[in-house]
Structure 1
Amino acid sequence: MVTFVKECRAWKWLKKARQSRTMVLVIVYIALFLDYTLLTVIVPIIPSFLYDKYDTEMNGSASPKQPQALPSTASPDLPYYSGGQLTTENTAKTESKTEGFEWRNTTGAPILGLRPTTGKVHCSRNESFLSEENLLVGLLFASKAIVQLLVNPLVGPLTNRIGYHLPMFTGFVILFASTIMYAFANTYAWLFAARSLQGIGSSCSSVSGLGMLASHYTDDNERGKAMGIVLGGIAVGVLVGAPFGSVMYEFVGKSAPFLTLAALALIDGVLQLCIFQPTKATAESQKGSSLLTLLRDPYILIAAGSLCFANMAIAMLEQALPIWMMKTMCSPKLQLGLAFLPSTISYLMGTNLFGVLANKIGRWLCSLIGMVILGISMITVPLATNIFLLIAPGCGTGFSLGMIDSTMIPIMGYLVDIRHVSVYGSIFAIADVALCLGFAIGPSMGGAIVKAIGFHWLMVIIGVINISYAPLCIFLRNPPIKEEKMAILSQDNCVNPNLYTAERDGQEFPMTEARNEEGVNSE
């Protein structure tokens, strides 16, 4: 009897959860969190893993007379020791290592027969391979975005036909398979395949998730807050990814972080099965605007461009910063992930803060200021000489990107509401395409630019691009409403006057009031 009562309660909870917008928000949050954790967990792992593999192959093919690698107790990530006396024991432990490490005693004289030093940090790492690795890592990171870019135009219209639930679950299955591939891949080719497969899963999850959220939260203010919360999930994923990956890789091994993410993905898959019932296809009640129609809208293109260039900056930074730190700071594995901690914490703050404040001060203004701050932060990154000096530009980068993402993605849903048919699969496919362009062009071009003219000029170029693009956000201050949409919106406001709102000089007005006050702006 007790078991029957518990089963009845569980069934009632499940039935209630299937009708809850909050559960939709939770599931989309978890899905995007896992996707972006997987996106960033490899940032500190891949450069170090590829270099360790190269180093092992070189040492394995070297003759026995060549010097061996430093033992781990000798702290190989520190280039030399000054200001203290090396003991006989330390000297004995490090006699076998001479590749660029320069040890000195308290008198300043070199020991162990190594060449004199000018005081500049010299790393033992092979700089020619690191230069080539910029291209390899750039192509690997870009592969996910390129595949996602190709799949998005198919997923967007597909969600209009069969609904969001089935593509969402398909995305989970593909992401789970990709995570397992990451865990056991030991060659560049298999890592490339896993990254590319992740692009397909990400396309299904992000387009379906954002579209589902927009269809459940029809009020513009509520939608902005919901999008801010979900983008907070992305921020937490980015926040956890790089440090989690570097710590697990350092102390447990390469497979451990991916197997952990695979276990968490299974939980999300069970929730989707229980709440969404993805075997049931439910098409949208009305036909949405085509991708081509939406791409002809200049206001949508401006918003998409803002997302593209802002995320291109962070994509270039993720690809180039770890290798630059390895070359100039001799940074150990742990620091390669911790360097992104300030930017991800500030991104989390930015998305949650401006998801609420953007409606009051104007989303266009938040994006404009964010792109300027992002550009300045990019330009100042190469000025850092150690990991602590990366904190300030990292915080500026994350906070500004949070401002842009939390305002531009809701704006794209808002533009569909006032200028097109309120079906959101295609518009969020375009938003995801914009993000993918940034993450495809950024790493692929970034590696080539670093090799040609250096990391410093790469940061200057992307910083100037963002600052130059920022003024275009002014056009999003008061986008015109299409005349055919005005009649529909006015009819909707008779039922619910708060259903759609427009931004006017930093304040919110019902659409009908905005029309009476300023008239209808038609193309």
Structure 2
Amino acid sequence: MDGEGRSSGLVKSAAVKLSEMGERTKELGTAMKDPHQQRRIILVIVCVALLLDNMLYMVIVPIIPDYLAELESEQSEHVHVVMHRNSSFNSTSQDKVNKNNLDIQIGVLFASKAILQLLVSPLTGTFIDRVGYDIPLLIGLSVMFVSTCIFAIGENYATLFAARSLQGLGSAFADTSGIAMIADKYTEESERSTALGIALAFISFGSLVAPPFGGILYEFVGKKVPFIVLACICLADGFLLLTVIKPFSNRTRENRPVGTPIYKLMVDPYIAVVAGALTVCNIPLAFLEPTISNWMETTMHSTQWQMGLTWLPAFFPHVLGVYMTVKLAAKHPNLQWFYGALVDENEFDNFRAQRSASEESSGPEYT
């Protein structure tokens, strides 16, 4: 009798727990249908997508130079052994040629993502106008997931180049649709500015935290682990997007305005000014990405986690700048051009300071 009583008690307890789980699931489903809650979930999804894109963009900074150098040394080891028999062989000149080739390979690898994204981004706008925001965002997350997995398993330059280029394709879909989705869901100017400020903060967080994240894991665990972690987060974000995405059968044909032709947008003065400002802001970063790791290894004999850690201090003033810009833009919207000019000047001042520090530290102390 005692055994039967215990078993019936366990059955009742399990039934109560299942009932509670069912109620919580219903509450979650009701909350997901609430437009206000949906906006928050969409903001989280977009922020995570932007975070992943920029982490994958910058996580390779301390990893790729060292990894490509190892691949180069393995491939040229047997060549050195054969040519060493020739007395006229100059190992110093050969090492210099190999280093120059490696620098070119690193630069091309870093640029491949931006080149493909530059070519595809104008086309994604037309695609988004026709199908909406959620499907392109899902496509972008899927492509980034595949790209991250290829980075994890890639063991030669061609594979890494394909993964980097594929990331540019995913970024063109994810970034464009994500920012557009935030602007569409947050119709009030103040809420939109706050939401876009949060998204920009996640972009900054991904760009500046990824190098120490990748450098530390690469140094102590290996190359695959950073990319596996990012792939898992990307997969989770994609599943979260599927919970709020509209099924094709429930999609209504919205009366969207006719899109403006690309050539008209390219000659628009406001768009030209914003595009020029973004280009100027990214020039110092484009110089530092493929060069700083090799320079630190050559002059300071730094390890990978130290190379990655050099990017971390810039995170805090960057986020502070984003916060201040959002607040100032809300109070004084007519002076937004002035804030952009200050940011551009600050970027060039930082670049000049880093260049001066590089020239000073590459003196007799390190040579």
Q: TM-score range by the shorter chain?
A: 0.7 to 0.9
CA distance in 2, matches of 1:329, 1:127: 19
Report the alpha carbon displacement of residue 288 of structure 1 after superposing the two structures with TM: 3.1
- Point out which structure has higher relative CO (alpha carbons under 8 A, 6+ apart): 2
Post-superposition offset of 1:171: 0.6
Separation in 1, partners of 2:35, 2:305: 41
- State how far apart, in whole Å, the 1-side matches of 2:255 and 2:51 are: 26
Q: Does residue 42 of the first structure (1) align with residue 63 of the second (2)? A: no
The CA deviation at 1:63 is: 4.6
Aligned to 2:346: 373
Q: Determine the structure 1 residue equivalent to 2:215.
A: 246
Amino acid at match of 2:283: M
CA shift in 2, pair 1:360/1:133, >3 Å: farther
Greater displacement, 14-23 / 292-301: 14-23
Matched to 2:34, the amino acid is K
1:208 paired with 2:226, answer no
SS in 1 for 2:173: helix
Q: 1:238 to 1:203 in 2, by over 3 A?
A: same
Aligned match of 2:117: 148
Q: Offset at 1:281?
A: 5.2
8 Å contact kept, 1:165–1:278: no
SS across alignment from 2:289: helix
Q: 5+ unaligned residues in a row in structure 2: which ranges?
A: 1-18, 85-90, 362-367
State yes or no: 1:256 paired with 2:225.
yes
User: Is it true that 1:15 corresponds to 2:33 in the alignment?
Assistant: yes
What's the TM-score once normalised by structure 2's chain length? 0.83
Which digits, 9 at most, give the CA deviation of each residue in 1:47-82, with x for residues without a partner?
A: 111112223344455559x9xxxxxxxxxxxxxxxx
Higher helix share: 2
- The whole-number CA distance in structure 2 between the counterparts of 1:266 and 1:25 is 17
Whether the 8 Å contact between 2:219 and 2:303 is mirrored in structure 1 is: no
Please give the residue correspondences for 1:19-98 in structure 2 after superposition, counting only pairs within 5 Å.
Answer: 20-59=38-77, 62-63=80-81
Q: Corresponding residue for 1:197?
A: 166
Aligned equivalents of 2:20 and 2:127: distance in 1? 45
Q: What is the TM-score normalised by the length of structure 1?
A: 0.59
- CA–CA separation in structure 2 for the residues paired with 1:220 and 1:386: 46
Contact 1:37-1:241 at 8 Å conserved across structures: yes
Aligned-partner Cα distance in 2 for 1:320–1:146: 19
Cα drift, residue 164 of structure 1: 0.4
What SS does the aligned partner of 1:384 have?
helix
In structure 2, distance between residues paired with 1:165 and 1:44: 33
Report if the CA contact (8 A) 2:143-2:167 is conserved: yes
Contact 1:140 1:192 (8 Å CA) reproduced: yes
Amino acid at match of 1:38: L
Alpha carbons 1:127, 1:327 under 8 Å: kept: no
Instruction: Please report the RMSD computed on the Cα atoms of aligned residues, expressed in angstroms.
Output: 2.6
Structure 2 Cα separation of the partners of residues 239 and 299 of structure 1: 29
Give the C-alpha shift of residue 269 in structure 1.
0.6
Give % identity. Answer: 37
Count of aligned positions:
332
Give 1:303 deviation, angstroms: 1.2
> 2:323 maps to which residue?
352
In 1, Cα distance between equivalents of 2:132 and 2:241 = 14
Q: Contact 1:250–1:333 at 8 Å: present in 2 too?
A: yes
Matches within 5 A, 1:258-297: 258-277=227-246, 279=248, 283=254, 285-297=256-268
Aligned with 1:222 (options 187, 191, 195): 191
| Maintained 8 Å contact 1:147/1:199 | yes
Query: Greater CA deviation, 263-272 or 126-135?
Result: 126-135
Q: Per the alignment, do residues 127 and 20 of structure 1 end up closer, same or farther by CA in structure 2, a change over 3 Å counting?
A: same
The residue type equivalent to 1:297 in the other structure is D
Within a 5 Å distance, the mapping from 1:378-397 to structure 2 comes to 378-384=351-357
Given that residues 32 and 38 in structure 2 are in contact (C-alpha distance below 8 angstroms), is that contact kept between their aligned partners in structure 1? Answer: no
Query: In the alignment, which residue of structure 2 is the partner of 1:237?
Result: 206
Please give the alpha-carbon distance, in whole angstroms, between the structure 2 residues aligned to 1:372 and 1:196: 31
